[in-house]
Amino acid sequence: MVLTLSTVAADPKLVTYSLTLTNGNKAILRPLEADDVNKLDDFLSGLSEETKRLITAPDADLPTATELCDAINKYDKLRFVLEATPENRIIGLLEFSFGIPDGDIRRFKTASYMLDENTDCRFGPTLADNYQNKGLGTSLFSYITEIARQFGKKRIILWGGVLKDNARAVHYYKKHGFKIVGTFSDKGDEMLDMILNLD
């Protein structure tokens, strides 16, 4: 069965996973829920300025957290949170978009990749500062690809690309099979477009 945003909204357990963190603690990867507003606000507000610079992250404030929670099953986005237990604290936000903006379509076409919303999706992760560079991204990667496949996707591109000077992130994506397809400029920053084939 190919999942849809509506089926996930009706039964979030379809894409809810338990995992063990590198420190031995447990965490739950699950779809964002309407009552996550305050926990999401705490997570976004706790991100360092450097983390915000390196990633495509939402604004760190309560109105943004409220907006993201209110958007569940309304648009083309599916957001997951990684929640550490037993403290029930959000330590990660993973965002999928099933719509492909025209700018992305044009840039990838220049690199001979024809993007298609039926088979391609965009993805962007954000991890809490004290959980970065500890293998958590690698632990999450199989769940990321499984979720994309459950939605019938065959390729993943990076949501907003990745900063060319973010060597750690570029290495992470390459390690997991992403290929660089081109560069573009965003507000004066040089960005890389990358794509992963799931076949």
Residue 15 sits in a domain whose CATH number is: 3.40.630.30
**11, pLDDT greater than 80:** yes
**59, pLDDT greater than 70:** no
Query: What tokens appear for 48 in the block?
Result: 């360092």
85-106: average pLDDT: 93
Residue pointed to by tokens 């999928």: 96
Q: 119-158 pLDDT, tens per residue?
A: 999 999 999 998 888 888 888 999 999 999 999 999 999 9
Contact indicator for 164, 183 with CB cutoff of 8 Å: yes
Whole-angstrom Cα distance, residue 3 to residue 9?
10
Note down the domain range covering 139: 5-197
Count the domains in the chain: 1
Dihedral of alpha carbons 52, 164, 173, 124, sign: positive
Largest CA distance in the chain: 48
